[in-house]
A and B are shown apart, each in its own frame.
Chain A
Amino acid sequence: MEKELYASVIPCSARPLVFDSEKCVGCNRCVNICQVDILLPNPEKGKTPIVAYPGECYYCGSCVMVCRQEGAIRLQHPLMNQARFVPVKRPSAEA
């Protein structure tokens, strides 16, 4: 096939992965572990991967687990999916 292949970043309403470009060394281990294949290696060697298909993220965290640079990738659930927690409460006498 002669056709030139290209990719576009397909944005979605969430930001599942946030890279810290100071910490990321662009080793692409996360690119190659992602079973959904949502990341693309940066065309510039050593730079942060591109989250090309954020809407396809399955939020498994394998990218974070495989990363050797602590804090280089942050995985975050969409705001609506951040469950609430509160300080423990002991019942009052009348309850």
Chain B
Amino acid sequence: MQNLKWPYENEFGQEEIVTSEILVLGGGLAGCYAAIAAARRGKSVVLVEKGATERSGSAGSGFDHWESACTNPCSQVSAQEIAEAYVNEQDGYSNGIGHYIECQEGYDRLLDMESFGGKIRDTEDEFAGAEFRDDETKLMFAYDYQNKFTLRVWGSTFKPALYKELLRLGVKVYDRTEATALMVEETNGRRRGIGATGMNVRTGKFLIFRAKETILAMSRPARIWLFHPDLVGLCEFRPMQSIGSGHAMGYRAGVAFTMMEKSVKAEFSSAGRSFPPYGTGNNHNTWYAATMVDARGVEIPYVNRDGVELKTVSERYYPAPGQKFFLKGGVIDNPKYEYRGPETLDFAELMRRGYQLPFYADLSRMPEMERKVIWGVMVGEEGKTKIPILKNYTERGFDPTQHMLQSYGNGWQSADFLPQERQLFGAPGGIITDWDLKTNIDGIYAAGDQLYASDCCGYACATGYYAGRKAAKAAEDVEYGEIDRAFCDAEKARLYHPMEVENGMDWRELNMAISKAMQNYCGGVKCRDLLNQGLELLEQYEREAVPQVGASNPHELMRAHEVFDILTVAKLILQACLLRESSSEPLCFSRSDFPEMDPPKDDCFITIRLDASGQVVRGTVPKGYFGDLKEEYEKRNADYVDGDARYRRG
């Protein structure tokens, strides 16, 4: 171990007050679009990002699919059809508002992206004549080639383009700055968000962001059940520092959440069982619909929803006879019959028929265009594939015309986890809002992964932009709040405390303890006593372990703050689990003391928030509370339909 003098300035104790009409917390896709929408409407905007906005967020280095772009010129489906399908697919436990916005406005955000310099179509005619390409618009489609509502895009070009646009519009970007707490004032019993506090994670400077409207656009929680102290960066699917601080600060401030009792058996953790996402042989998502073979080289059949074996590669991309469209993508695991698309034969059936492990993806047997679009565009543009997969595997000698890539785990996933190893995956819980994407607290909005049941990048971009324009409108009628000095001083003291601890506990030790506690007390099967004991243990950690955590520079301090937020979110999850006194299949929620599955009394969203005294408040919201999606949307967005195009460039 080598001791280095800290290379950045020491600004501990220094303070800066920053004022803007709109404050955006989080510089991923949702946050960038929120800032752009507000800046286009002439508002002063500050964006706060813990990393570097140019590449930050879950899609920082890329993404390959833009789902539900129902208004693109080739689409054969309506926004209403697809949004309603998403809601039905999740048995009503889905965010109709967010999905409708995604389906209706997503394509507009893609056109924005193109005007900023992002690549959304095959301008070089590399795939001219391909079945998945529309030769007139040069747009390229994935999954359902008949209905053409999911686009293949060059997502690695997106974040740098967005960042440039933010600067061009005069958005003040505070990179390397963590948001730490929401500032809320109370007048006549009504709470209102008036900004947030933050800390520079390289210098330690304390920041106070005053704003008329604040938009939460940070990540969903992670590292709750899954933690690996050695390879922390690989223990979850999303970026290492995206751990749900936005949820933690929202919860502390009284923001309402729903579906936080939902968690699924883990799907990815390449610090342990999994391999790098999209880096093994499989036929899902980025790799849909790759040809799969068994150990002998025998091809594994694809079947449609009726079990009819498909003869050609092309047939894998079309609905079954009598089916209008099918759903595939981020949150679609085992779709209902109505929405089920072509899939390889069920794993158990393959075993019965004598297929031999291991399986492989064999792109060499696919038509050239299909092979080239999977290995070269999809693998290359998706998430973390350009360098770690496409470039590195190529350097290791992988040639998709000559090699097949191994598949791991039980079936198609690259791992198989234990029931207590859980994750917030597949349309998890989050913040519940009204049709303006406003939370239960005036002046605080939410977008992207902070909303419950979020799924993909299109969802993040569309809801971000929408929240930004609603917040910009609301800002016209409000004044700035008064900074509460005592609150800021207490927050500063909380943030700085680990710097004063000598020989303190490493943040990893606390994270490890929380994750182990969650596996023990909030695993596959839950019950009241177990959940309560888990809460007791976490509260003990809060009292006894948190004050012992030490840090020797702003980077380590940031990591410590993250774990404190993980602790808050873990408590939120345990408390939410206590509030649902039944079991639920769509929520992947099992209670041994209330085994009845989805009884009518609990056939609703259960919400959770803290009141001013810190007590948990349970609420219920009926399924379908968002009403008829098209009608309710149009009622509130006539100005958008008629007027947003004037902001567009190019």
Contacts and interface: CB of A to CB of B under 8 A. Distances in A.
Interface of A: 1, 3-14, 16, 32-38, 40-41, 43, 50, 52-53, 55-62, 64-66, 75-78, 81-92, 95
Contact of B52 (A33, A55, A85, A88): A33
A72 to B, nearest CB: 13
B190 to A, nearest CB: 37
B61 A84 contact: no
A65 B387 contact: yes
B594 interface: no
A36 B176 CA distance: 10
Given A36-B233, A41-B7, A83-B406, A5 B384 contact: no
Kindly list the 10 A-B residue pairs having the minimum CB-CB distance in the complex, ordered from nearest.
Answer: A61-B387, A35-B51, A1-B12, A5-B6, A89-B297, A60-B61, A62-B55, A35-B56, A58-B233, A95-B296
B404 A35 contact: no
A14 B408 CA distance: 21
A2 B406 CA distance: 55
A40 B386 contact: no
B621 interface: no
B61 A6 contact: no
Given A6-B5, A36-B239, A58-B384, A88 B297 contact: yes
Interface string B393-419: 100101000111110100000100000
Contact of A7 (B4, B275, B384): B4
Contacts of B384: 58-61
Given A43-B5, A58-B240, A65-B55, 19 more contacts: A1-B10, A3-B12, A5-B552, A5-B553, A6-B6, A7-B3, A14-B230, A36-B240, A37-B51, A59-B276, A62-B60, A75-B388, A81-B275, A81-B276, A81-B279, A83-B275, A88-B364, A88-B365, A91-B296
Interface in B1-32: 1-7, 10, 12-13
Given A8-B1, A9-B2, A64-B387, A57 B404 contact: no
B590 to A, nearest CB: 31
B47 interface: no
Given A35-B241, A86-B403, A58 B2 contact: no
Nearest to B393: A85
Given A7-B6, A58-B233, A36 B392 contact: no
A78 B233 CA distance: 12
A85 B388 contact: no
Contacts of A57: 233-234, 240
A1 B55 contact: no
B231 A34 contact: no
Contact of A35 (B52, B231, B298): B52
B474 interface: no
A40 B7 contact: yes
Interface residues of B, number: 73
Interface of B: 1-7, 10, 12-13, 50-52, 54-57, 60-61, 156, 176, 201-202, 204, 229-234, 239-241, 270, 275-276, 279-281, 293, 296-299, 360, 362, 364-365, 383-384, 386-388, 391-393, 396, 398, 402-406, 408, 414, 496, 499, 552-555, 558-559
A65 to B, nearest CB: 6
B405 to A, nearest CB: 5
A7 to B, nearest CB: 5
A5 B279 CA distance: 39
Given A41-B7, A85-B404, A35 B57 contact: yes
**Most chain B Cβ neighbours within 10 Å, of A1, A5, A65:** A5
B553 A84 contact: no
B55 A60 contact: yes
A13 B230 contact: yes
16 contacts: A1-B12, A13-B231, A35-B57, A41-B7, A52-B555, A55-B231, A58-B384, A59-B234, A60-B383, A61-B61, A62-B55, A64-B391, A81-B275, A83-B406, A85-B403, A89-B404
Nearest to B234: A59
Contacts of B241: 35-37
Contact of A62 (B61, B204, B280): B61
Contacts of B553: 5-7
B167 to A, nearest CB: 15
Contact of B293 (A34, A37, A89): A89
A37 B406 CA distance: 33
Contacts of A87: 402-404
Given A7-B552, A35-B239, A65-B61, A1 B499 contact: yes
A83 B403 contact: no
B27 to A, nearest CB: 9
A80 B34 CA distance: 40
A57 B280 CA distance: 20
B230 A12 contact: yes
A84 B233 CA distance: 22
B297 A77 contact: no
A60 B60 contact: yes
A35 B496 contact: no
A26 to B, nearest CB: 12
Contacts of B56: 35
A38 B60 CA distance: 16
B296 A33 contact: no
A91 B297 contact: yes
Contacts of A14: 230-231
A28 B232 CA distance: 23
B397 to A, nearest CB: 8
Contacts of B234: 57-59, 78, 81
A5 B201 CA distance: 13
A85 B12 contact: no
Given A58-B239, A88-B403, A6 B552 contact: yes
A77 B276 contact: yes
Contacts of A95: 296-298
Contacts of A9: 1-2, 4
A12 B232 CA distance: 10
